[in-house]
Structure 1
Amino acid sequence: MSHLNLRTWIAEHGCPVVLDGAMGTLLQERGWNPPALPEEMNLTSPKIVRDIHASYAVAGANIVETNSFGANPIKLASRNLDGKAREINAIAASLAKEAAGDRLLVAGSVGPLGSLVEPLGELSFEDAVSAFKEQIAGLAEGGADFILIETMIDLREAKAAVLAAKEVAPCLPFVVSFTFENNGRTLTGTPPEVAAHWARAIGASAVGVNCGSGPEEYIAVVDCLAHHAGIPIFVYPNAGLPGSQEYWDPERFSRAGRHLVEAGASVVGGCCGTTPQHIESLARAIRTLSLPHIKEIQGSPLCSISRLGLAGAEYPLLVIGERINVSRPSALREEVSRYEWNVLKKEAREQEEAGAHAIDINVSLPQIDGSRAMREAVLAAESATMLPLSLDSDNMDAIEAGLRIASGIPLINSVTAKGESLERGIALAAKYGACLVVLLLDERGILEDADKRISVARRVCECADALGFPRKRLFLDALTLSVGSDDNAARVTLETVRRIRSLGACSILGISNVSYGLPQRPLINRTFLAMAMAAGLDAVIADPLDSNLMETIAAGNLLVKRDRGASAFIAFASRGKGKKEEDTTGKEAIPQDQMLRAAIIRGEEDMASSLASALIGSGMPSMKLIDEVLVPALNVVGELYECGDYFLPQLMSSAKAAQAALAALEEGFSAGEKSLQKGTIVMATVEGDLHDIGKNLVALVLRSHGYNVIDLGKDVPLDAILKCATDERADVIGLSSLMTTTTKEMARAVSAVREKKLPFRVIVGGAAVTEEFAKHIGADGYAPDAVGAVKLVEALLSNVGRGEGK
């Protein structure tokens, strides 16, 4: 089935498709024990693995997953098995295939690598792609029918897995499934609507949600996916929340399964805690239901890791900020020539604050490496703004370097309608899940009338059709020429814009050329833009810091019925009024302590370090700086994180900025101050567990608050944890666990501390842990996330004097 059309297979099934249940739960019952990895049983106990697959087939599953979730070289290296990654995956697929026979499909399971991908972590993007390639090549070799990339929390890591699948197994369909937190987003801040549009754009046959919370919590997520995906939905939740004292029984789980189908799921199964009995009950419960209707999706999407922008007739004009452009001499150009990005970050932030929906990046200079510059510029911009990006260059190699690393659905700006240029642009957009700007310019050059430009547009759309690329992801540029040299130029462009919509593509313009060589250019530009909006313009590349232009856009959206109820215009008018009142007060120099506070909130490491040094040099005591600047700034960050305005990337950036400030304070604090450390915390992932993403984040944020954090890593024996805590005179031991099978190590640790009357507080956290579980084992507290860990530690140590030791 190497050419399986998975979406057609699901549609032809007639009723909701049943996916199997947990593998680890059953392996544990049949002899698997950490620190061995579940995937090792493909080598040591193949019959057990095959029998588990067969038990799910008998229970009514239509799809079985391979025992390969963690079989990537990075995780296998902990057992010196990284050299056997391809073999282990091939065996995993063949065992599932033997059990499935010809009746069932085999999904090649690909889970997270266990390390965050740059810039959130130390793992390079290309190393992530390489690790996934080794795994997916083995699954393809062993006979998997499609690849199931699952339990994803980071859109960039999911992208690495998808590119690996495309590059080593181009004939295999793939599905991408995410794990969402209780706030409805992944740990790194991706909401369901972004996941849905991204998965469809990058070519997934379906998008899914798995693990995480129990089935009921995922009903709203599935409903959101169904409204935005345009492809089938997979959902296979845990049988309740891991870490609870008991999982749900099969009957309760199957009732929830019916609700998930009714919310829009075409494929339903189980994750942690589910058994063949759960799947048998689920199969009975949903077999009389109809397959959900897959909704036709409107609009053309751009998205970042956390923000979605849509263009089209029903949506407001999409504003793409044009200010990151090195075509003219500027401070930005000087920095880019040195591969420095401070001005770029500032411009990105200011354009977002001014109301842009996406940010254009043009860093092409002849004297530098264009691919390196684009790659670094993308990472810098994504650290400064949550908006989608538009990658602007006439060097397609540089464009591809940016596309490879960019999160979400970026915009390629741009290619011409000439054959080779157009075909390469479409191929890149298809591979990387991007949208594409096409200039209506072919071998004949600029065409003088609308009929000829539309004929070019029609050929562009037909080429996209032939290559299987959706017209909705084309942004056709009708070309803006100066009315100073051709008084018919604007009329031709406006007529072309009006007619593009009938082709099913989006229209886009850069507007500033229209006024070239004339006085009062801003007036001409915004008047032309208003006329283009009336003609149906979908997107504009412009300067969002031009307040008059943004006023025109706000009013124009209202007048062309793209702002129902006038809500956006009223909000814009309110912001404008406040800004004008503020401007009348005059501008004063911002004190350095306020600048440091802002730098930490924004996550500006270099700025935070230099400002902290300057403040210490001016005589401000270190503790005063911590108490009155750093801690209040981090409190604001914590509040933004908890209310959903900040996500993991912003939290980590702010924590790193605070750490940079603390490092500067440590170097320059006055001789009369004994220490900046507020207490010592030993952190570890318990023995048998190889996951430390959450633990690493907690350690980072605790350090940013002034704690001395000793991170022992993952898979740490209890004796080593207790010895380190004793030697370092720790105040708190923090333990993490992702796997339900290793939570017993937490219970052992708490018991040991109590029995030996050791002076440590023990706090616990991780995906497999709940507050109920923490209380059950007698821990001193439970932290659901990094912000919660800081609050918990502050409360536990509130009676310990700063810098006084034990």
Structure 2
Amino acid sequence: MHAARYRKRLPQLGGQLFLSDAGLETMLSFQQGFTLPSFASFVLLREAQGRQALHAYFDLFARMAHEHGLGAVLETPTWRANRDWARTLGYNALELAEANRAAVALLAEVRASWDSPATPIVISGNIGPRGDGYRADRRMPAGDARDYHLAQVATFAGSEADMVGAFTMTYPEEAIGAVDAAAACEMPIAISFTLETDGRLPSGDTLADAILRTDAETGDYPVYYMINCAHPSHVEPALMEDGPWRERIHGLRANASRRSHAELDEALELDDGDPEALGDEYLALRTLLPRMNVVGGCCGTDERHVEAIARSLAPGPAGKGPPGRGGARQPGAPRA
């Protein structure tokens, strides 16, 4: 009941192409020299220089979407802003809630500059996994996952966030718990699973099974699904199983690198791949993801990659997409 009501409020469900941002943490750490403990970008909200860097980052992608005549879905820099990670970073519960609210407020400032009826901006409260994000070695039952993520989701529900995005989910139970937390707060939620090089979740589940199970156990509550932190060449094997479940996938935020999660964990230098090739690979995936319309980057990507993706999927003549389709008609850090 609540899901149907909230779906009407999310403009990206109409089929227009929406850009997201890129590899926030990799851009901040590798390109701008920020130190991000535990790969947490929300800690930058504490200092003026960090807030300015975050504002400039999101403003860049909101402006890019506006210039292309596209919408934008901006994810708050709160992928690590949950209880366990925050505790290791010295945040108590009140400070953590304030950080999540401050992240939404920052994106609201960006939205005020670029939002328009033709280029709407959606603010998504980003939640990440309780664990590492590359491994599924410590798994919670769905009920425990609901309880774990509820505080962060509730904070977003009391803010200007339009929805919640649960990114880099490595196993179905945590995704189901995040959805249950969102339902309890009457917030729309998108679930973004991550994939290994074989196209399976780190838990070993197939993407099809993960989506079908999450829908079955939550009454189809997620507004849509996404894939993040995997190269398009890792995504394609996951989509070989045909069926209407693929139409539930609206978003893709791919890595620039073809490396596995284990290889990325060990990498000392950034692998930024080939931006133009990445854009072409998004275009090629459109046949397998007919509703893909929320697109951006993840590990190793920056404005060059998102620009290339926009050019590939945007409607002609400026882009490669067919005219009149709003880019990719209805087809994600994240760890980065």
Q: Give TM-score scaled by structure 2 length.
A: 0.76
Distance 2:242 2:159 in 1: 31
Provide, for residues 112-131 of structure 1, a one-character-per-residue CA deviation record: whole Å limited to 9, x for no partner: 01179xx9648676553333
How far 1:211 sits from its partner (Å)? 0.2
Q: AA paired with 1:178?
A: F
Rate the CA distance shift 1:80–1:280 in 2: closer, same or farther, 3 A: same
The residue that corresponds to 2:59 in the other structure is: 54
The residue that corresponds to 1:93 in the other structure is: 104
Contact 1:237 1:270 in 2 (8 A): yes
Distance 2:9 2:164 in 1: 13
Q: AA paired with 2:288?
A: A
Q: As a proportion of its length, which structure holds more helix?
A: 1
SS in 1 for 2:123: strand
| 1:435-474 alignment, distance < 5 Å | none
Distance 2:132 2:233 in 1: 29
SS in 2 for 1:216: helix
How far 1:292 sits from its partner (Å)? 5.9
Decide which structure has the larger Cα Rg and report it: 1
Rate the CA distance shift 1:7–1:207 in 2: closer, same or farther, 3 A: farther
Match of 2:294 among 267, 286, 292: 267
Rate the CA distance shift 1:739–1:281 in 2: closer, same or farther, 3 A: closer
How far 1:26 sits from its partner (Å)? 2.5
Distance 1:236 1:54 in 2: 18
Give yes or no for the alignment of 1:160 onto 2:177. yes
Give yes or no for the alignment of 1:181 onto 2:196. yes
Distance 1:227 1:107 in 2: 26
Distance 1:6 1:209 in 2: 23
The residue that corresponds to 2:77 in the other structure is: 67
How far 1:75 sits from its partner (Å)? 0.7
Contact 2:122 2:162 in 1 (8 A): yes
The residue that corresponds to 1:406 in the other structure is: none
Give yes or no for the alignment of 1:255 onto 2:280. yes
Provide, for residues 206-239 of structure 1, a one-character-per-residue CA deviation record: whole Å limited to 9, x for no partner: 1111103x22221343464764244342111111
Provide, for residues 370-402 of structure 1, a one-character-per-residue CA deviation record: whole Å limited to 9, x for no partner: xxxxxxxxxxxxxxxxxxxxxxxxxxxxxxxxx
Provide, for residues 513-546 of structure 1, a one-character-per-residue CA deviation record: whole Å limited to 9, x for no partner: xxxxxxxxxxxxxxxxxxxxxxxxxxxxxxxxxx
The residue that corresponds to 1:136 in the other structure is: 153
Aligned residue-pair number: 291
Match of 1:38 among 5, 22, 41: 41
How far 1:7 sits from its partner (Å)? 8.9
Match of 1:109 among 118, 126, 130: 126
Greater relative contact order (CA < 8 Å, ≥ 6 in sequence): 2
Q: AA paired with 2:189?
A: F
Match of 2:209 among 177, 194, 203: 194
Provide, for residues 477-532 of structure 1, a one-character-per-residue CA deviation record: whole Å limited to 9, x for no partner: xxxxxxxxxxxxxxxxxxxxxxxxxxxxxxxxxxxxxxxxxxxxxxxxxxxxxxxx
Contact 1:86 1:137 in 2 (8 A): no
How far 1:142 sits from its partner (Å)? 2.8
Provide, for residues 541-587 of structure 1, a one-character-per-residue CA deviation record: whole Å limited to 9, x for no partner: xxxxxxxxxxxxxxxxxxxxxxxxxxxxxxxxxxxxxxxxxxxxxxx
Distance 2:298 2:74 in 1: 12
How far 1:191 sits from its partner (Å)? 0.5
SS in 2 for 1:190: coil
| 1:597-676 alignment, distance < 5 Å | none
Provide, for residues 41-85 of structure 1, a one-character-per-residue CA deviation record: whole Å limited to 9, x for no partner: 122222221211111112226111110011001111102214222
% same residue: 23
Distance 1:19 1:245 in 2: 21
SS in 2 for 1:209: strand
Rate the CA distance shift 1:98–1:8 in 2: closer, same or farther, 3 A: closer
Distance 2:131 2:139 in 1: 12
How far 1:145 sits from its partner (Å)? 1.1
Q: AA paired with 1:107?
A: S
Distance 1:8 1:231 in 2: 15
Match of 2:313 among 255, 271, 286: 286
Provide, for residues 99-151 of structure 1, a one-character-per-residue CA deviation record: whole Å limited to 9, x for no partner: 123331112111101179xx964867655333311111222233111111111
Distance 1:258 1:67 in 2: 27
Give yes or no for the alignment of 1:18 onto 2:19. yes
How far 1:272 sits from its partner (Å)? 0.8
How far 1:245 sits from its partner (Å)? 5.9
How far 1:251 sits from its partner (Å)? 1.3
SS in 2 for 1:180: coil
RMSD: 3.0
Provide, for residues 410-442 of structure 1, a one-character-per-residue CA deviation record: whole Å limited to 9, x for no partner: xxxxxxxxxxxxxxxxxxxxxxxxxxxxxxxxx
Provide, for residues 296-338 of structure 1, a one-character-per-residue CA deviation record: whole Å limited to 9, x for no partner: xxxxxxxxxxxxxxxxxxxxxxxxxxxxxxxxxxxxxxxxxxx
Q: Which runs of 5+ in 1 are unaligned?
A: 296-737, 741-806
The residue that corresponds to 2:304 in the other structure is: 277
SS in 2 for 1:274: coil
